[in-house]
Amino acid sequence: MKRVTYFILFTLISSLLGNEARGQTYYDTQKAKKDKKYYIEFSYGLGSARWYSHFYDAPLYNLDGSVLKYGDLKLQASNPMFDYNFGVSVPLGKFRVGMGIRFEKFSMDKLSMISSDSSGKGNIPDSYVLFTESFWFNEIYAKMSAPFSFCANKPYSLEYTMNIGFYGYDGVKHLNFFGNDQIASTYLVSAGFLLDYQVLDFARVFICPEFEYKYFHNNANEAPSIIVHNIYTGILSFGIRCDVSKF
């Protein structure tokens, strides 16, 4: 999916969450108003990713369309990244639930190759390939967080956060790095901690260290070619969240 499609989905689901929040505010008269926080949030994150990939009977192309490698390829890579993240959340019992979209920019300069005859060495790269690439991952995800009770009635709060969703990508210049232009299996999960501090009656600044795992498998219609990416990313995000119930 392109980023515009993700934004449309995000807007529609945000509207549904907003309606749920208003309904809950109306009916849940026993809950203290200070606990009814309906957040919208924005953050900017920096991180680093590790790739563990497998190309089987699939070519790895250069920018000019020539074949760099072909066959049973095991690849590793590491790269910096940054992201923009937008989210909404509402209270649900002792938890918070919501959804978000994240746009991640990845940049690469080389791939580490593991030859099929180096199995005795474990996953130790034995050669490298120049692979200059940059592209966007566009995520949409559901999220849930569990606030820690010791932060109740404090100007700060600490939450354990969990996300699950899927992603698309655009801007890839190397042919076939994510298979052909068909629907692939793309999933993500993440977990982390969010620490915020109230700076205004309606606004809190926060920091969120997070670990994310992405899985990619090309479409089965591309058989016998198989392309699998396992991507592990550590992210440190800084942002602001606003309680819309204060307006």
Q: What's the rounded Cα separation, in Å, for the pair 99 and 97?
A: 7
| Entry pTM | 0.83
Nearest one of 83, 3, 78, 15 to 43, comparing CA atoms: 83
Measure the CA–CA gap between 6 and 83, rounded to whole angstroms.
15
Nearest by Cα to 51 from 235, 236, 233? 233
Structure tokens at 131: 């692979």
Q: Map out the domains of the chain with their CATH numbers.
A: 3-246 (2.40.160.20)
Average pLDDT, the chain: 85
Distances in Å between the alpha carbon of 246 and those of 31, 36, 159, 195, 205?
16, 10, 21, 20, 16
The whole-angstrom distance between residue 74's C-alpha and the CA centroid of its chain comes to: 24
Residue in 125, 126, 165 with CA at minimum distance from that of residue 142: 165
Q: What is the pLDDT of residues 14-52, one digit of tens each?
A: 554 555 444 444 334 444 555 678 999 999 999 999 999
How far apart (Å, rounded) are the C-alpha atoms in residues 96 and 151?
Answer: 15
pLDDT of 116-147, one tens digit each?
A: 655 555 566 678 888 999 999 999 999 999 99
Distance CA 76, CA 50 (A): 7
Q: Can you tell me the mean pLDDT for 1-21?
A: 51
Write the pLDDT tens digit of every residue in 166-189: 999 999 998 889 988 778 999 999
Contact 3, 170 (CB under 8 A): yes
